[in-house]
Amino acid sequence: MNNKTTITKKDALVLIACMVFLLLTLGAVGPGGLQRQRSALCLANLRQWSFAWSNFFADNDNKVIGEKNIWDMDQSSPLYQWDAEAWPDILRPYYRDNDKIRFCPQAKSEIREWWGDKYTAWHIPSNLTGGIEYAGSYGINDWVYDGPDSWGGNTTGRGWSSPDMPGAANAPLFLDCVFVGSIPYSASDSPPQVDAFPYYHQNRAMIGRYCMDRHGRGRINGLFLDGSVRPIGLKELWKLKWHRQFDTNGPYTLAGGSTLPWPEWMKGFKDY
């Protein structure tokens, strides 16, 4: 991510606001207009997150969340030692006055449980937080972590430690998600058998936490490690570079021969 920019943060926010207004004006016309509006607002949220992450990188020697950030946390925080999934705490200085951007407009309502779904947010209850509650409907890619204590982490040579690493444009950073984060291991991770199954952890099938038709036509929205923001096809999730050794031509992809079947609810979506 290039931090040598002549555009000020204020200029960028004004530009985003103008873009959102235009998108909302155009999107309100015709069938599905409300869903398009919300998707446009979601993309605007993620562009604000792109600025937040860029500022975090600039303050941390162009590194992603790492051990130092965990050590610097208040040890009473419920997210202490959650590695990359401590992002709601660690990035708080960069979004302090705008808690709303933790929520996709399609999934703003909170459920009083851990897991969200397509239209509701995940929620970390206050009995684990010392009175501080966290909720949202985006989640991090846990492989974006610089330290040996991550869930799978850089000790195996697979994690992303900097936005400057080759391949960052296809490395997911922050996406629509039913939980605060996930750590996809394998290109053979099976998709959920129903849309937005809330707790998808069996057999380490962790891509499933992002796999839900939140924005229609088989799409979610996402922010990539290079700072780019765009819609992502659900089947495209199996083409992204979740970690540096992830096979982007696996058995669910066209390049891999599409040898594994999709569940019924996903069969009509675009193949990749």
- Asked if residue 212 lies in contact with residue 121, where contact means CB atoms within 8 angstroms, the answer is no
Given the structure tokens 């010392």, which residue do they identify?
A: 130
Window from 48-62, 87-101, 209-223 with minimum mean pLDDT: 87-101
Q: How high is the pLDDT of residue 153? A: 47
Could you give the percent of the chain with pLDDT greater than 90?
Answer: 53
Domain borders along the chain are 9-266
> Which neighbouring-strand residues pair with 63?
none
Please report the pLDDT score of residue 157 as a whole number.
Answer: 77
Is the per-residue pLDDT at 170 higher than 80? yes
How far, in Å, CA of 100 to CA of 179, rounded?
A: 16
Tell me the per-residue pLDDT of 199-238, one tens digit each, with 9 for 90 and over: 555 556 789 999 999 999 999 999 999 999 999 999 999 9
Instruction: Report yes or no: 206 and 185 within 8 Å, Cβ to Cβ.
Output: yes
Helix (H, G, I), strand (E, B) or coil at 120: strand
